[in-house]
């Protein structure tokens, strides 16, 4: 009888709580990976996975969790935690921290900071790229990070225009700020993964989108999903140096 893993997502918590039940083996690894990617594609700050009802058929079955951790380390960069296991040692090869119960995992993660994340829906129509730039400019203004806006707008314009021209599905623009790093991501309904094909001839029309993204982004990549994909880029900001003020008769030094 083939093995099976069921999953249920509880979004009524501070972070998504994914409950997995069944047997984790070579047959069910792919569905587990897809289910976790689908949750991570919403760009949560963290995901907690309850494995109380999950059994690993073999010691190496947890490798799929290690792969999820590695493949999403740069985007969305969510904190990942397992909970509900009485044998944490068996799950440690996954690289995920393991907690006895969901309450312990949520307490360790702390409260989310939704102000540092933006999610906006866009339709594949003329003006979508302009709207994405407006969203980015407004977000960078709220975050007091105007240094990030220019390159973020370049990245979003290329991603959104690609969806408008070629994919023609609804999309979601997702932004996040982590320290001095900003991520820009666009989710669409096409499974076609963009590839960087090398230099484009000066007389060629189009085809420069990924080259521009590659030029301004610290890193970029994609997250494949069952119903499409997310294309993402990470941008390293450069805060302007604080202005030095010199003491004088009208601006005395403070002691």
Domains of the chain: 5-109 (3.30.750.24), 114-236 (3.30.565.10)
- Work out the number of other CB atoms within 10 angstroms of the CB of residue 187: 25
Q: Considering the entire predicted model, what is its pTM?
A: 0.88
pLDDT at residue 207 above 70? no
Backbone CA torsion sign across 144, 147, 151, 157: positive
* pLDDT score of 91: 96
Mean per-residue pLDDT, 4-9: 97
CB atoms within 10 A of CB 228: 20
Find, among 241, 192, 234, 186, the residue nearest to 214 by Cα: 234
Q: For residue 124, what are its two tokens?
A: 């594949």
Report how far Cα 9 is from the mean position of its chain's Cα atoms. Answer: 18
Q: Give the pLDDT confidence score for residue 198 in this predicted structure.
A: 56
Q: What is the pLDDT of residues 26-44, one digit of tens each?
A: 999 999 999 999 999 999 9
pLDDT at residue 129 greater than cutoff 80: yes
Tokens (6 digits) for 185: 């991501």
Looking at the DSSP bridge assignments, the partners of residue 173 are: 120, 186
Is residue 175 within 8 Å of 152, Cβ to Cβ? yes
Burial of 241 (0-12, 13-18, 19+ CB in 10 A): exposed
Contacts of 241 (CB under 8 A, 6+ apart): none
Lowest mean pLDDT among 64-78, 81-95, 192-206: 192-206
**Confidence (pLDDT) at 182:** 98
121-137 average pLDDT score: 98
What's the pLDDT score for residue 3? 85
Within the chain, what is the greatest distance between any pair of CA atoms? Answer: 87
CA dist., res. 28 & res. 22, Å (int): 9
Give the percent of the chain with pLDDT over 70: 88
Q: Tell the burial category of 174 from Cβ atoms under 10 Å away from its Cβ (0-12, 13-18, 19+).
A: buried
In this prediction, residue 254 has a pLDDT band, given cuts at 50, 70 and 90, of: very low
pLDDT of residue 157: 97
From residue 208, give the alpha-carbon distance in Å to each of 16, 161, 205.
Answer: 37, 11, 8
- Give the tens place of pLDDT for each residue, 92-110: 999 999 999 999 999 999 9
pLDDT of residue 130: 98
């Amino acid at each position: 009888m083939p093995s099976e893993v069921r999953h249920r997502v509880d979004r009524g918590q501070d972070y998504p709580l994914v409950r997995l039940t069944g047997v984790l083996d070579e047959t069910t690894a792919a569905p587990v990976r897809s289910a976790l990617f689908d949750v991570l594609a919403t760009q949560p700050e963290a995901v907690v996975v309850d494995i109380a009802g999950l059994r690993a058929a073999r010691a190496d079955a947890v490798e799929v969790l290690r792969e999820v951790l590695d493949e999403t380390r740069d985007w969305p960069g969510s904190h990942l935690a397992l909970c509900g296991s009485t044998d944490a040692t068996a799950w440690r090869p996954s690289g995920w921290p393991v907690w006895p119960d969901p309450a312990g995992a949520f307490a360790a993660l702390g409260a989310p900071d939704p102000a540092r994340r933006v999610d906006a829906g866009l339709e594949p129509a003329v003006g979508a790229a302009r709207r994405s730039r407006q969203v980015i400019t407004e977000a960078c203004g709220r975050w007091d990070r105007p240094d990030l806006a220019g390159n973020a707008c370049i990245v979003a314009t290329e991603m959104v225009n690609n969806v408008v021209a070629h994919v023609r599905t609804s999309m979601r623009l997702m932004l996040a700020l982590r320290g001095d790093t900003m991520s820009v991501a666009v989710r669409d309904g096409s499974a076609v993964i963009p590839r960087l094909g090398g230099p484009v001839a000066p007389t060629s029309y189009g085809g420069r989108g990924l080259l521009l993204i590659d030029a301004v982004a610290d890193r970029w990549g994609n997250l494949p999903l069952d119903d499409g994909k997310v294309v993402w880029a990470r941008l390293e900001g450069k805060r302007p140096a604080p202005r030095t003020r010199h003491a004088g008769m009208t601006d005395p030094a403070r002691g």
